[in-house]
Amino acid sequence: MSSNENKNPPDSAVYFRLFTEIGIINQLASNRAERAMPHGLTMSQFGVLNHFSRGLPPKPPLELANAFQVTKGAMTNTLKQLEGKGFVDIVPHENDKRSKVVSISKKGRAAHQDAQIELAKQFADFSEAFSIEEISAQLPALEKLRIWLDENRA
């Protein structure tokens, strides 16, 4: 039986394609974004700055590791770089002497702002090709996916 015509893919193919498309978009977009990063920021480092720039409150490294789905060790490394650049402040936890609390610094906010400007430049052609309305229309569905995956981690 030839599989070249009248394809009747199983249901799972649709889900598979969703994640394949998202994976490729992420790869291409990350590649662009990485090249735009100022101050020698990696995407991981930018992610942490971005997290706090969105107004989220100071929190321990472990919570950040969970938020970004990386190991504690990876977060230790990322925070070390950020602290070295003076972009975050890391202080002992008040009540729990095992723990620490990370917050963004003034310098970190400025660096994040710089990064956003560079990103806007790097994606200028993209924003010419896709209207705000077109992109906005996609966000609710993506958010729904993201929230579900986040709340139902396997």
Among 11, 40, 84, 98, which residue interacts with a second copy (rule: CB under 8 A)? Answer: 11
Kindly provide the b/e burial profile for residues 5-29, where b requires at least 16 CB atoms within 10 angstroms of the residue's own CB.
Answer: eeeeeeeeeeeeeeeeeeeeeeeee
Between 27 and 76, whose beta carbon lies closer to a second copy?
27
Q: Mark residue 55 as left, alpha or beta (left: phi above 0; alpha: psi -120 to 50; beta: remaining).
A: left
Choices 10-18, 55-63, 106-114, 121-129; region in contact with DNA by CB under 7 A? 55-63
Among 5, 6, 54, 97, which residue interacts with DNA (rule: CB under 7 A)? Answer: 97
Of DNA, a second copy, none, which one does residue 71 interact with (CB within 5 to 8 Å by kind)?
DNA
Kindly state the smallest distance separating residue 104's Cβ from DNA, in Å: 16
Binding site for DNA (CB under 7 A): 42-44, 60-63, 69-79, 81, 93, 95-100
